[in-house]
A and B are shown apart, each in its own frame.
Chain A
Amino acid sequence: MKTPAILVLPVLILVVALFALVPPGIRASDHADPVNLEEPESNLTDLFFYPSGDQMILILCVRRALTTPGPYNLEPFEYAVHFDLQSRVTFDSEEDRARYGGTIPNPEGLRPNAKIRLRLNNDATLREKSFEGLKDPDRIRVYAGVREDPFNFPRFFDRNTIAMVLSIPMSSFPEGQRDWILWGTTYKDGKQIDHVGRSNRTQQARFDSLNVLPPNEHVPEIMRLLGKWNEVFTTLNNFREPQPKALAGLIQYVLQIRKYDLAPDVMIYSNRFPPKFPNGRQLLDDVAALTCQTGDCILQEISFIEGGWPRRTVNDKPFLAEWPYLAEPYPEQPQMAPSQPSIWPWIIGLVILVAILSWAVVEIIRRSVLWLWRRRSRRPALAPT
């Protein structure tokens, strides 16, 4: 069936309007919370937390898809891992355990009471470290450097990352600690610019705005987004024309908050249960597949699209049994020339603007003619004399 051009134009307007509504971070959205792609070293890519003997292993990675040699742009940033060791976690909800590792009954009460701060030199070595709220800080071992990207995902095979690996003695935590709530952040000039909690959450386009918020503000923000996107979805879905309905479907898939999203983005680990995502995260956890089991499947789909058959369920390079656990980096590749600025986005924008204005003029004329025609048709006929 041929679609009348008059229907296509309003949809085009809606697309442009929605594009304008979407925060810039979402427009840039891709794997691993790229809040600001102009400074890729600010982008947190992975957070791991799991027990190993009498230690807890903590790994925080930044700078996705790294292939180039240093120096990097690491010095402006501070990387931090926050622990809330006091807030209550419950495990009664099977659904929450499968999706988040547990339930936090009072998410607005989340507050860090232990913190690790790290700064790196531009060659990816450790520059500064500080520990708050953790005992025996001298016994905490820290590594920083370029390693192979540990995320099991075809797009990041043959790629490196900048890793911070810590081995924290169990004795550094309060005695008898059973449940850990943690999250990672990047700061620049004292301002939070990225966040990571449970893997494959804030990198979803619908959660992009959480990247600059502390976890105790996540649920109110998710509620706000839920109301906003439901309104947009409902408005578009109520159109008779297929194009707005199709757009509503796209919004539902990409941006609309799900009914199971109303939880803060933090990682939960409890030693009441075996360590396996989402109860903490180990290096071998196949996060794309595991998060797909509870609803978020985009990474799983892309891993099929971009990967081979059968789908790999482990990383492309084996991990080390010894410190610092992450595999040796791939050889560096020469930096590609940056792409040149193009005039095409401006030309396309101009064409869209002209199209919208033309449509508006045609639509005003069409509706005016129709209105006049109906008015004329309704005029009662004169009775015969």
Chain B
Amino acid sequence: MVVQVAPFAGTAAAGRIALTAAALLVAGDLRAHDFWIEPSTFHPAPGATVAVGLRVGQDFVGDPVPRSSRLIDQFVVRQGGHDQPVVGLENIDPAGWFRADGQSTAVIAYRSHGAFVELPAAEFEEYLRQEGLERIIDIRAKRGDRAEPGREHFYRYAKALLAGERRSGAATQPMGLAYEIVPDDDPTVGSAAFDGRVLHQGEPLAGALVVAILRSDPSLRLAARSDGQGAFSFVLPRAGVWLIKSVHLVNASMFSRADWDSLWASLTFELPRPQAPPDVRSSR
């Protein structure tokens, strides 16, 4: 297998991380690897210090990704209407920390710089299929590029929602990421129905494959395609920590060494157990 990888920024440290990511991208079952945020808690108490881990892996089982300032484009938490940086230590996992105000739902957002990866044609096509990007296969076929290796810059856009004492509008607002999953309602307050939108550059994206995975049972995978308004829906069958993810590919810019830019969006949150219905007998 031939994999060529180089960091977009052209640095050694970023190169090592990109190489790791690329190795994970093509290792084992050849499935591409997801990237998500895993905080130390999804429901921090007011004043608590939350450690924010980054993970790369498959089926919601990930390896820690240490903080790398060369890869981070943005790493913030939005709470109480303000964005604060998630501070951390270089080359250390967890990648950052912040103090939770715990008053309302907090949104952590991570945006990476791009990293270059080149995959042999067969592996590239397999990964496109797994991420529901058959249209890219068709485009490559029309261009007569199917035998060519896949060259792309990949970008990570990860978000996590942490429950507070009350719901927050921030949970349902875009964070300004290039590719983003935005719920229609705050899922941390508990509702089996998860409705959301997929946004590319702030605009609804139609036809995107969106997958939901439950951490405690990764075999439980739900999939949906976004409609013309970028909307999709799931009925999440169980409480627990969920990962919602989607991948989008666009043409790389004219002067890029890559043919494609792949945009990886993820959203993690904990769906609480439904509250028991009121006891009718005792309320009489």
The chain A residues found within 8 Å of chain B, CB to CB, are 105-109, 219-220, 223, 226-227, 230, 233-234, 237-238, 256-259, 262
Contact = CB atoms under 8 A, between A and B. Distances in A.
Contacts of A262: 49, 97
Given A105-B45, A106-B46, A234-B69, 10 more contacts: A105-B48, A106-B48, A108-B99, A220-B99, A223-B99, A226-B87, A226-B97, A227-B87, A238-B70, A258-B89
A227 B99 contact: no
Contacts of B49: 107, 219, 223, 262
Nearest to B11: A238
Interface string B85-107: 10111101010011100000000
B137 to A, nearest CB: 40
Contacts of B47: 105-109
A238 B13 CA distance: 9
Contacts of B98: 223
Given A219-B99, A223-B99, A259-B94, A230 B87 contact: yes
Interface of B: 45-49, 69-70, 85, 87-90, 92, 94, 97-99
A12 to B, nearest CB: 24
Contact of A226 (B46, B69, B89, B94): B89
Contacts, number: 45
Nearest to A226: B87
Contacts of A106: 45-48
A238 B10 CA distance: 13
User: Which of B70, B89, B92, B98 gathers most chain A CB within 10 Å?
Assistant: B89
Given A105-B45, A262-B49, A233 B90 contact: yes
A105 B50 CA distance: 11
B238 to A, nearest CB: 26
Contact of B89 (A105, A108, A238, A256): A256
- Please list the 7 inter-chain residue pairs (A to B) with the smallest Cβ-Cβ separation, ordered nearest first: A227-B87, A108-B47, A106-B47, A262-B49, A234-B90, A234-B69, A226-B87
Nearest to A258: B89
Please classify the interface of chain B as helix (H, G, I), strand (E, B), loop, or mixed, using the class held by over half of its residues: loop
B241 to A, nearest CB: 20
Contacts of A233: 90
B97 A223 contact: yes
Contacts of B99: 108, 219-220, 223
Given A108-B99, A259-B94, A226 B45 contact: no
A256 B87 CA distance: 13
Contacts of B70: 238
Nearest to A224: B87
23 contacts: A105-B45, A105-B47, A105-B48, A106-B46, A108-B46, A108-B99, A219-B49, A220-B99, A223-B49, A223-B97, A223-B98, A223-B99, A226-B87, A226-B88, A226-B89, A226-B97, A227-B85, A227-B87, A230-B90, A233-B90, A234-B90, A259-B92, A259-B94
Nearest to B89: A230
Contacts of B87: 223, 226-227, 230
B69 to A, nearest CB: 5
Nearest to A230: B89
Nearest to A220: B99
A106 B46 CA distance: 7
A237 B90 contact: yes
Nearest to B44: A105
B93 to A, nearest CB: 9
User: Which of A106, A107, A109 gathers most chain B CB within 10 Å?
Assistant: A106
B40 to A, nearest CB: 11
Given A220-B99, A226-B97, A259 B89 contact: yes
A230 B97 contact: no
A227 B86 CA distance: 9
Contacts of B92: 259
Contacts of A107: 47, 49
Contacts of A227: 85, 87
A105 B92 CA distance: 23
B97 to A, nearest CB: 6
Nearest to A256: B89
A54 to B, nearest CB: 35
A95 to B, nearest CB: 12
A89 to B, nearest CB: 13
B217 to A, nearest CB: 26
A108 B85 CA distance: 19
A141 to B, nearest CB: 36
A164 to B, nearest CB: 32
A272 to B, nearest CB: 21
A200 to B, nearest CB: 21
Contacts of A105: 45, 47-48
Contacts of B90: 230, 233-234, 237
